[in-house]
Amino acid sequence: MKNMSLEEPAVQFDQVSLSYGLDQDVLTQVSMELHARSFTLLTGPSGAGKTTLLKLAYLALLPTSGNISLFGVNTGRLNRTGLAKLRRRVGVVFQEFRLLDHLTAYENAALPLRVVGEPEKHYRDDVIELLRWVGLGDRLDARPETLSGGEKQRVAIARAIVGKPDLLIADEPTGNVDPEMGDRLLRLFQELNKRLGTTVLIATHDQDMVKNAGAEVLRLADGSVMHQVSNRPSFTIS
Ligand SMILES: Nc1ncnc2c1ncn2[C@@H]1O[C@H](COP(=O)(O)OP(=O)(O)OP(=O)(O)O)[C@@H](O)[C@H]1O
C-alpha cells in the first residue's frame, strides 16, 4: 500500500485562468488540489464553468494562463505525445455519453483497449465482468439506440474505467436518469473509488448526490471563487 502522504496530488491547478477566444475569463486564477484517491463533487450554478474546469483537468483544453499538474506532472511542459500519454491515465464520462451507435454495449466499453491495439482475448472476460458489475450483463450485444438513458450512462462509465484510470472525471452523470438510477450510479463511483483507489471528480447539479455522497464538495461561483464544503482535507483552496 502506497503511503498517501507521499503521493503526488492527482490534480493540481495553480492560478489557472481560461477564456474562450477574446471573451472574458470563464475561470480566473483558480487554485485547487485533489488528493490521490479522493472523491470530490464539483457544483455551482449553470454557466459557472464546471464543464470548462473538467475539460482542463482531462486535458481537452489548455489554460490561458497558470499551471495544471496531473499526478505530479506539470502539463505545461509536455508536448502532444506527453499530453496523450498522461491523458490515458484519465477516464471521462461525458455529459452526452458519446457512445458509437454502430457498436454494441460490449464493443463500446472495450473501445479504449481496442484502439491501443490490445488483443481481444486479453480483455474480453474483463470487459464482460465490468459490464456485469454495472448491471448490464444481459445487454452486452445491445446497440445504444435500444438502451435507456441509465443503461447508456452505465456503458459510458464502463468505457471510462475499462483502462483502469488513476483519475475518473464525470460531467453530470446523473443528469439524464431518475433518482433511483442516480443513487445506483453514485454507488458505482464510490465503489470504484474505494476498491481501486481511483480519484473521482464529478460535476453535478444533483442536490441529492451532493447530500448523499458524503464527499468533498467544491463549489464554483462566478468562475473564480471556490469553496470547500466539508471538513475532510481532500483538497485545498487558495
Ligand atoms: N466553446 C466555448 N466557446 C465559448 N464560450 C464557451 C464555450 N464553452 C463554454 N463557454 C461559456 O463558458 C461559460 C461556462 O460554461 P461551462 O459549460 O463550463 O459551465 P457549466 O458550469 O458547466 O454550465 P452547466 O451547468 O450549464 O453545464 C458559459 O458562459 C459558456 O457559455
Is residue 230 predicted with pLDDT exceeding 70? no
Q: In the chain, pLDDT over 70 holds for what percent of residues?
A: 91
Strands (E), 51-190: 65-70, 73-74, 90-93, 167-171
Contact residues for 212 (Cβ-Cβ < 8 A; gap 6+): 183, 186
For the chain, the 3-state helix, strand and coil shares in percent, each to the nearest 5, are 35, 25, 40
Is residue 180 predicted with pLDDT exceeding 80? yes
Question: Mean per-residue pLDDT for 91-99?
Answer: 92
Ligand 1 atom nearest to 54, measured from its CA: 18
What does the alpha-carbon distance between residue 63 and residue 27 come to, in Å, rounded to a whole number? 9
- pLDDT confidence of residue 51: 95
Residue 233 confidence class, pLDDT cut points 50, 70, 90: very low
Ligand 1 atom nearest to 53, measured from its CA: 18
Q: Is 213 exposed, middle or buried (0-12, 13-18, 19+ CB in 10 A)?
A: buried
pTM assigned to the model: 0.90
CB 217 within 8 A of CB 229: yes
* H-run or E-run covering 159: helix 149-161
Residue 7 CA to ligand 1 centre (angstroms): 32
Question: Mean per-residue pLDDT for 177-191?
Answer: 88
Q: Mutation test of ligand 1: which of 24, 30, 51 has the most ligand atoms closer than 8 Å to its C-beta?
A: 51
Residue 84 confidence class, pLDDT cut points 50, 70, 90: very high
Q: Domains, the chain, ranges and CATH?
A: 9-97+165-228 (3.40.50.300)
Pocket of ligand 1 (CB under 6 A): 20, 26, 44, 46-52
> Residue with the nearest Cα to atom 3 of ligand 1?
20
Q: Mutation test of ligand 1: which of 28, 52, 95 has the most ligand atoms closer than 8 Å to its C-beta?
A: 52
Question: Mean per-residue pLDDT for 79-105?
Answer: 94
Residue 221 confidence class, pLDDT cut points 50, 70, 90: confident
* H-run or E-run covering 216: strand 216-221
> Residue with the nearest Cα to atom 18 of ligand 1?
49
Whether ipTM exceeds 0.95? yes
> Residue with the nearest Cα to atom 17 of ligand 1?
51
Mean pLDDT estimate for the chain? 89
Residue 47 CA to ligand 1 centre (angstroms): 5
Question: Mean per-residue pLDDT for 27-36?
Answer: 92
Residue 178 confidence class, pLDDT cut points 50, 70, 90: confident
Is residue 157 predicted with pLDDT exceeding 60? yes
Residue 52 CA to ligand 1 centre (angstroms): 6
Residue 159 CA to ligand 1 centre (angstroms): 25
Question: DSSP state, 72?
Answer: T
Q: Is 111 exposed, middle or buried (0-12, 13-18, 19+ CB in 10 A)?
A: middle
CB atoms inside a 10 Å sphere around CB 161: 22
> Residue with the nearest Cα to atom 23 of ligand 1?
47
Give residue 73's region: left, alpha or beta (phi > 0; psi -120 to 50): beta
Question: Mean per-residue pLDDT for 80-105?
Answer: 94
Provide the grid cell at 67: 499551471
Ligand 1 atom nearest to 49, measured from its CA: 18
| pLDDT tens figures, 110-151 | 999 999 899 999 999 999 999 999 999 999 999 999 999 899
Cα distances (angstroms) measured from residue 116 to each of 52, 75, 81:
27, 22, 14
Q: In the chain, pLDDT over 90 holds for what percent of residues?
A: 68
Residue 218 CA to ligand 1 centre (angstroms): 17
> Residue with the nearest Cα to atom 10 of ligand 1?
20
| pLDDT tens figures, 11-26 | 999 999 999 988 888 9
CB atoms inside a 10 Å sphere around CB 18: 21
Provide the grid cell at 187: 454507488
- pLDDT confidence of residue 231: 42
Is residue 63 predicted with pLDDT exceeding 70? yes
Q: Is 131 exposed, middle or buried (0-12, 13-18, 19+ CB in 10 A)?
A: buried
